[in-house]
Chain A
Amino acid sequence: MIEPFFFGPNNEQLFAIYHPPIGGSGQVLTVICPPLFIEYMRTQLALRELAISLAESGQHVLRFDYRGTGDSFGELSETAVSDWVDDIALAVREGRDLTGCNVVRLLGVRAGALLACRSAGASSDVERFVLWDPVPDGAAYLHGLRRMQAAIVDLHPPLSRAERRETLHEYAGHRLSERMLDQLRLLDASAYASVPKSKLHVVSTSSEVGFPVPGVATGVTPFACDWETNLADRMMAKPVLEQLRTCLTIT
């Protein structure tokens, strides 16, 4: 059973789904920080499955959508990185109030990993950060979005000149505000470095992609996520989900 709800300030409420623990009081809360844009759509089913699995293992789980994404309120074109960083802090607070848990773990996926570390890295509130294929930094992520945009246009039926001009301002099919772009460019790997290494667990699907902070525990579970080239397939990355579950439940 799930408990969906809206929370936060009236004019910019966020949408969340709470998965209560099954068969136990639950001492741990896991908050899932999803990826963005096409990656959000591709992983929705997988993250739901993971949340159910974690709840079955006795954890409280909170999934939520950032402002301007999913079912949350706000327009993407009026949102910036700082809003999403605040949203994560708000979701953690909401989850703690809801469950009474003192032990909080964050799962960050792709850009969600960078945002999670920026939001809570320096805080003592979070006991563990599990990061699935974290993006290296905001600038690299933006470059990746532009490459996706090029792939979308390349695969697309021929566009008119006016449409082509419009798409020059899009990132993976979305218009982002100047504020968002500026803040993404400034979001560097120091977000990861702000987290004590002992709290970080990285799950990577490719051995070719390194984590920007050396000396962090990284498990490689090979899986062809094809984040930048696969624009459509929903993934149910079972081996990766299993690895994430282990990282989030191991004591």
Chain B
Amino acid sequence: MPDNHLTEEALQFGEGGRLFGILTLPSVPISTSPGLPVFVFLTAGFTHRVGPHRLHVRLCRELVRLGFTSLRVDLTSMGDSPPRPGYTNQQSVAADFAEILAMLESRLGPSPLVLAGLCSGADNAITLAPNEPRVVGMVLLDPVCFPDSGLMGFRTRAMVAKYTRPASYISGLRYRFKTLNQPREKKREDDHFVDPLALRDPPTLELMQAAFESIRKRGGRVLSVFTGTAPQYNQVGQLGRVLAVDGYQQFCTELFWRRSDHTFTLEVHRRQLVEAIKTWAGDYIAPERAPTSDDLSERAASLPVLLTDTHQA
């Protein structure tokens, strides 16, 4: 599908053409493109390849302006990719990834990869990264986190927030009550609503450490964005403390956007997320170091929108 600056190809690939995805490429070769990683956007929950509120489409078409090729793909059982009968979720994701790698290699050659995903998409990126040397980056949106301990650890901060920011606390409780409780009740009443939580295979702390460690050893980078509705996360830097991976600050960027919701429902937040990811990705073109949270906040603040008050923690 030609356009001024990009081409999109609808692809069916893998055994029997089971997997469906759309590849976004620059229309004409860009001088920065050779050697750049290919972004692979993994489906989140039961949202298909388009992403929540069309986020993946927008990211693919923005990243291509910088020279990046992207694939947005329906993992099996989602969107237009039928299930693999008899497979567990993890087996199915592993088989999907092998077929994604084979397709990308035949189409583009052995390119490095950045795996990107929200929620269960982030879970899958973390699960797949350690064993695939081509993965040199991850964009994790509301990935799993674990409470940090200590006097001012997660639970203490949650307690403090409860009394010092009651609006935020109550809002968080309402959000969790509505989004977690309501679907389950409905599911009990009838079987016609699909519970995305049933799909999650959250990685263990050890697996997360292995994933981050593997990216570090490959000289890659990780961007993690936590929202105000991420469970078990309430302070920027918490993931780094919990993981305790060598050199975390040098290759990881961790953002806490406490005023965003889990799927970036509001346009004002999606716009800022797209800019943050573009900025982070831009450093693959002019590599220096992983941009810090402050870097991304400064650049987001310079956007021509009203967010001079960035929602960076």
Contacts and interface: CB of A to CB of B under 8 A. Distances in A.
Interface of A: 1-2, 4-6, 10-11, 13, 15, 17, 38, 41, 44-45, 48, 69-71, 73, 76, 152-153, 155-163, 165-167, 170, 173-175, 223-224, 230-239
Contacts of B3: 10-11, 13, 73
A234 B309 contact: no
Interface string B52-80: 11100100000000000000000000011
Closest 6 CB pairs of A and B: A157-B228, A4-B10, A6-B1, A166-B268, A234-B194, A234-B46
B12 to A, nearest CB: 7
Interface of B: 1-4, 8, 10, 12, 17, 20, 22, 45-50, 52-54, 57, 79-80, 167-168, 171-172, 174-175, 178-179, 182-183, 186, 191-194, 196, 227-229, 258-261, 263, 265-269, 305-309, 311
A4 B12 contact: yes
Given A163-B268, A166-B268, A224-B186, A156 B307 contact: no
What is the interface of chain A mostly: helix, strand, loop, or mixed? Answer: mixed
Nearest to A37: B53
A41 B3 CA distance: 25
A167 B175 CA distance: 18
Contact of A155 (B53, B174, B192): B174
Given A4-B80, A173-B53, A157 B258 contact: yes
Given A156-B261, A163-B266, A165-B306, A71 B193 contact: no
B198 to A, nearest CB: 11
Contacts of B263: 232
Contacts of A158: 167-168, 171, 259
B12 A166 contact: no
B185 to A, nearest CB: 11
Given A6-B8, A13-B1, A15-B10, A231 B265 contact: yes
Given A234-B194, A236-B193, A4 B20 contact: yes
Nearest to B4: A11
A38 B46 CA distance: 13
Given A4-B20, A69-B54, A235-B193, A160 B48 contact: no
Given A165-B306, A173-B267, A236-B192, 14 more contacts: A4-B80, A44-B48, A45-B79, A73-B3, A156-B266, A158-B171, A160-B309, A162-B308, A163-B307, A231-B265, A233-B182, A233-B193, A234-B45, A238-B191
